Amino acid sequence: MEEVCAEEMRNGVGNEGEIVKESVVEAHPYAFHVSGPRNVSSPNWKDLISSSWRKDANYKRTVMACFIQAVYLLELDRQENRTEHNALAPKWWIPFKYKLVETLKDERDGSIFGAILEWDRSAALADFVLIRPSGAPKAVLALRGTILKSPTMRRDIEDDLRFLAWESLKGSVRFSEVLKALKAIADKHGSNNVCIAGHSLGAGFALQVGKALAKEGIYVEAHLFNPPSVSLAMSFRNIGEKAGFAWKRIKSMLPSKSDSQISCEEAGATSFRVGLKQWVPHLYINNSDYICCSYTDADGPQCDQTANKENAKPTNSQTAAKLFLSSKGKQKFLEAHGLEQWWSDNLEVQMAISNSKLISQQLKSLYTLPAAQVTPVKR
C-alpha cells in the first residue's frame, strides 16, 4: 500500500485529499476489482434475449456470493468509519444493477448482519437494459456469517454457540429480524421474485427462516453457502437413532404378532405434503469444511432393504435439496470455509446427492404435518 501512495506522489497526485483515500480503497484486498470475480459481466441488452440469470447457474451462484460479501463489507465499512466516497461494499452490488434499500442491524451492538438489495431499474436503463432479465430476483436478502473482530464478535459467537448447543437459532434477536424482513419483501414483490442468501452462520439463519416461511406456504428461493451442520443436538440424535435402529433389529428377531410389524411403506403413508410443492434450498458445500461437510451424508432407507440398494429411489416422505459440492479436493479449513471460493474462476462444482440425511432431518416437519395443519401454498 505504501508503494501505491509513493507512486502517486511521484506522479503529482498524492495530495492529502480524496485521491489518496481513493487510492487506498483501490489497493484494499477486499476491493471488488482485487478479489471479486473476473469473468462475470454486468447485465446488458443481450440479457433481454438470453438471460445469464436463467441459463447459467454459475452466474446466479456468483452474484449471490458477491451480495453476501457486500454484507460483510457493510459491517467492516461501519467499523472502520468509511464514507460513501470510500466504502468497499457498494462495488459488490452495483455491477449487477442492484441497489441497497435496507440494512439489518443487531439492536444490541449496532452491527450490520444483513441487507436487502433490490433491482435498480434506473441503473439498468442507463445501460439500455429496459426490463429485468428473466430469472433475476426483484429483491435479495443477504446475510453474513461470523466476523472475528471485537465490535461484533461477541454477538456472532453467541449465535454460533446457540446453534452448536440446540441446532436452532429461533431464540436469537436476529432470527426475528430476518423473518420480519423476508416476509415484508415477499409480500411486496411476491415470493417467486425474492431470494435469501447466507454464508456460514448467515446460511443457518437463511435455512431456518426459509423453513419457517415454507410452513406458512411461502416458498422463497434460498442459496446457502457453507451452512453449519455440526451441533451437540444432532450428535445426540444420531446416537439415539443408532440405538433405536439396533433395538428394532433385535425386536425383529423375537417372536411377535404379524400385525404388530409395520412396514416402511405403511409408516410413510402418515406423511402429508405441504401444498403442492416442496421447498428446495440450494446448498453449496465443501467436504474439507468440517462445519458444513455433514450435509453430504446420504439419507438412506429407514427399513432394512437389502435388495437393489444402489438403485433405490427416494420415497415420498424424503425431503430434497439441490446440493452442490466443490470438487477441488483436500483444502485447508479457512480456504474450504471461505466465501471467495464460490466466485473463483477455477471452481468446479458438481451436483451431489439430492436426499441429504441432515437436510431431511431439518426439513421433515414440513412434510409430516397432520392433515389438519397443512397450509395451502400462497401464490
The domain that holds 326 is classified in CATH as 3.40.50
Tell me, yes or no, whether 227 lies in a domain. Answer: yes
**Sign of the alpha-carbon torsion through 258, 261, 262, 263:** negative
d(CA 101, CA 111): 17
Tell me, yes or no, whether 39 lies in a domain. Answer: no
Q: Are 378 and 191 in contact (CB under 8 A)?
A: yes
Instruction: Give how many domains the chain has, as a whole number.
Output: 1
Residue in the block written with cell 439498468:
124
Tell me, yes or no, whether 303 lies in a domain. Answer: no
Q: Are 175 and 208 in contact (CB under 8 A)?
A: yes
**pTM score, two decimals?**
0.78
d(CA 211, CA 75): 26
pLDDT digits (tens, 9 = 90+) for 106-133: 998 999 999 999 999 999 999 888 889 9
Tell me, yes or no, whether 166 lies in a domain. Answer: yes
The torsion angles phi and psi of 299, rounded to 5 degrees, stand at -95, 100
d(CA 116, CA 141): 5
Looking at the DSSP bridge assignments, the partners of residue 194 are: 139
d(CA 34, CA 25): 10
Q: What's the mean pLDDT in 93-103?
A: 96
Residue ranges of alpha helices (H) inside the chain are 2-10, 18-27, 32-35, 52-55, 57-79, 121-126, 150-166, 173-189, 201-215, 232-253, 264-268, 333-337, 357-367
Tell me, yes or no, whether 49 lies in a domain. Answer: no
Tell me, yes or no, whether 351 lies in a domain. Answer: yes
3-state helix, strand, coil in the chain (%, to 5): 45, 15, 40
pLDDT digits (tens, 9 = 90+) for 294-352: 887 776 554 333 334 333 344 444 557 788 888 777 889 889 999 999 999 888 888 77
d(CA 100, CA 89): 10
Tell me, yes or no, whether 24 lies in a domain. Answer: no
The torsion angles phi and psi of 20, rounded to 5 degrees, stand at -65, -45
Looking at the DSSP bridge assignments, the partners of residue 222 are: 196
Q: Where in the sequence is the domain holding 160, given as residue range(s)?
A: 56-235+278-292+318-365
Q: Are 319 and 363 in contact (CB under 8 A)?
A: yes
pLDDT digits (tens, 9 = 90+) for 15-49: 544 444 555 556 899 999 999 998 887 877 777 66
The letter for the amino acid at 130 is: L
218: cell is 411461502
pLDDT winner (highest mean) among 220-224, 241-245, 310-314, 350-354: 220-224
> Given this model, what pLDDT does residue 371 score?
44
138: cell is 426483484
Tell me, yes or no, whether 89 lies in a domain. Answer: yes
